[in-house]
Amino acid sequence: MDTSLVAAKVLGIYLIISGFFLLFRGKTIPHLLKDFFGHPAIVYLTGVILIFLSTLLLIEHNIWDGSWRTVVTVFTWLVLLKGLAYIFVPETLHKMASKKVLESVSYFGIVAIAVGLSLFYLA
């Protein structure tokens, strides 16, 4: 199977599951974030893992042709940036998870499900 198809399907499934989690268990997010950012080693390791996985995917799939494959590439670059942020500016990420953002978590869940379904079925 083509790398683009695998990446789109994996990303689609991830977004669908994350979206349903945000819809049905979104109220637990503040507690999860508090625990997560309270352990700097876990934050660092998460950043390393995100950088490693996104770099592997970018080496195999860095396509900017304007099709659905570009969406996969953009998400992969965003994952790489998030990994870098976990390592270099975790305090900023923690502050970004403000109360306003956490109040609209169900909207993020709906968007994640919609994007995930599109990626999964387009691929």
In this prediction, residue 100 carries a pLDDT of 63
pLDDT tens, residue by residue, 81-119 = 999 999 999 999 888 876 667 778 888 899 999 999 998
Q: Structure pTM?
A: 0.83
Helix/strand/coil (H, E, C) string of 60-93?
Answer: HCCCCCCCHHHHHHHHHHHHHHHHHHHHHCHHHH
In this prediction, residue 99 carries a pLDDT of 66
CA angle 52, 55, 61 (to 5 degrees): 140
User: Quick one: pLDDT band at residue 18, thresholds 50, 70, 90?
Assistant: very high
Measured CA distances, 122 to 8, 42, 61, 73, 117 (Å)? 8, 34, 17, 15, 8
In this prediction, residue 61 carries a pLDDT of 84
Provide the 10 A C-beta neighbour count for residue 56: 11
Measured CA distances, 72 to 2, 10, 26, 85, 117 (Å)? 13, 10, 25, 20, 13
Residues 6+ apart with CB under 8 A from 115: 12, 15
pLDDT tens, residue by residue, 21-67 = 999 998 888 888 889 999 999 999 999 999 999 999 899 888 899 88
In this prediction, residue 1 carries a pLDDT of 54
Residues 6+ apart with CB under 8 A from 17: 116
